[in-house]
Amino acid sequence: MAVRFHNARPGLDLINIIDAALPVAQITAEVLAQDSKGLPLLEEFVLRLVDHKVTSGRSIAGMLGVPERMVDQTIAALFSSDDLKWGLAASDDARARGLRLTDKGQITAHNAAQNVPVRVNQPLVYDQMLWKIAPYDRHTTITRGQAEEDGMIMLPAARSGPVDESDITAADITTLLRDNGTTDREVLQVKSITQARARRVLPVKLLVYADQDRSDIQLGVVVDGELSHLHELELIGFGGAKRLDITVEPPAERPVLDPELEKARVPLPEVSQHRAEQAAFQLGSQTPTPAPPAAPQPQADEIRAIGVFEHPEILEEALSHARRRLLIISPWIKKAIVTTTFLGRLEARLGRGVKVDIAYGYEDNDTKTDLAAVRKLNNLATRYPDKLTFTRLKSTHAKVLVYDDVWVTTSFNWLSFKGDPDRTYRMEEGSLIRNRQVADTQYDRYLELIDQQRR
């Protein structure tokens, strides 16, 4: 997503991609609908009139009030489809001939007559920001409570209160059905609607852009993987970044490595370009060079920058694949990070014998730490006393991740980068060193720091 949309605002930098929640309502509409008969209207009426003993083209044209030429063309089409034939007329003149239904035509006419409007319940998702029905999959929506627990930013609704029957028309539902691939049903009338009581949201992504001075902040909204200009315009009308209390600060100062490591470190622009080429190649897009991206450096000797968007990937990699050790130091802890999934992955590492150390704490100030997340980690440490240490430090500015032979030092808050009500964002940069000797040295160093700072 960062690769796709980083140039969507010329002159602005993509600062962050945030999980957001779009308010929606789950609606069940009772509608009067009719499925398509798969038969042109004039052909249907010609067949039904012939079935009712109207056996000449002139008589049919007169009853329908259409030119006889149109009826003759329709009769010819029905002869070609083997729905009509010539037969003896129902008259005293045995030489007279009239239109008759074939066996196939009788079935076609019968099916057309049986296809009448019916009442059906049509499930819908109503976008409460745009205040219109939308083609979202209701199975991808979640409860508002779950979104709040996951630290999502709540996008505003166009109005308060429930959706009214007048807000949904038959034409809107028919258009939606056709957009979703259902082309054989037409909604004739909306009889009533029922709105689910539980408040639901659709998970979306909020793109935060800013200029060099961090004074011009613009937001993009990605819905179902695509930028939605309608939602962006609606958000501007609500006040944009100011309405959501989003601010952007200058980039944080990254921790500096030892001179030798600093000299060997691949800078962020080069890393970002390589990742962009990889992503573009995987997506089948045009790449800056016709050949596939070059292979990365051997993993035994990797020293490079990591940007803000790569940090969550690296944390997930550590939680999913660490084999010997995992150490995380973060000043604050948020429940939006320490989720059921996070705890499940952590416990899976512990179950495989991985030694885990987690430390947190910023002076006496715990206002940015969720106590519920602390309790969950304490409970896990109690169950695995020989494998997991969870420590409150006197104070730490360190943001460190060590797993196996990898050491990451950064300005990125590993356990609180989501769910912070402060909503102040900045470009975060760190360094990843994949080398066993360096990782061993740093691992021992931070274990000693944890022991010294233990509160």
| Within a domain: 254 | no
Mean pLDDT by 10 residues, the chain (455 residues): 87 92 96 78 87 91 91 92 81 67 88 77 95 94 92 93 92 88 81 93 96 91 95 95 92 90 92 78 56 48 90 95 96 92 96 96 82 95 96 90 96 86 84 95 95 84
| Within a domain: 253 | no
Question: 15, 248 in Cβ contact below 8 A?
Answer: yes
For residue 84, what is the domain's CATH number?
A: 1.10.10.10
Question: 377, 333 in Cβ contact below 8 A?
Answer: yes
Are both 61 and 89 inside the same structural domain?
yes
Eight-class DSSP state of 289? S
3-state secondary structure of 21: strand
For residue 338, what is the domain's CATH number?
A: 3.30.870.10
| Within a domain: 151 | yes
Are both 396 and 432 inside the same structural domain?
yes
**CA 122, CA 28: separation in Å to the nearest integer?**
6
Are both 131 and 168 inside the same structural domain?
yes
Q: What is the pLDDT of residue 96?
A: 62
Are both 161 and 289 inside the same structural domain?
no
Are both 268 and 382 inside the same structural domain?
yes
Please state, in angstroms and as integers, the Cα–Cα distance from residue 260 to each residue in 141, 172, 234, 430, 438, following that order: 50, 65, 51, 16, 12
Buried b (16+ CB within 10 A) or exposed e, 44-61: bbbbbbbbeebbbbebbb
Are both 342 and 358 inside the same structural domain?
yes
Q: Final residue of a domain: which of 228, 248, 268?
A: 248
Are both 380 and 315 inside the same structural domain?
yes
Residue type, 136: Y
Are both 394 and 289 inside the same structural domain?
yes
Q: Final residue of a domain: which of 114, 138, 169?
A: 114
Residue type, 318: A
Residue range of the domain that includes 295? 259-453
Are both 141 and 226 inside the same structural domain?
yes
Total count of domains within the chain: 3
| Within a domain: 210 | yes
Q: Which two tokens stand for residue 25?
A: 């309502």
Q: What is the pLDDT of residue 297?
A: 45
Query: Would you say the pTM of this structure is higher than 0.85?
Result: no
Are both 149 and 237 inside the same structural domain?
yes
Are both 46 and 100 inside the same structural domain?
yes
Are both 89 and 131 inside the same structural domain?
no
**Residues, the chain, total?**
455
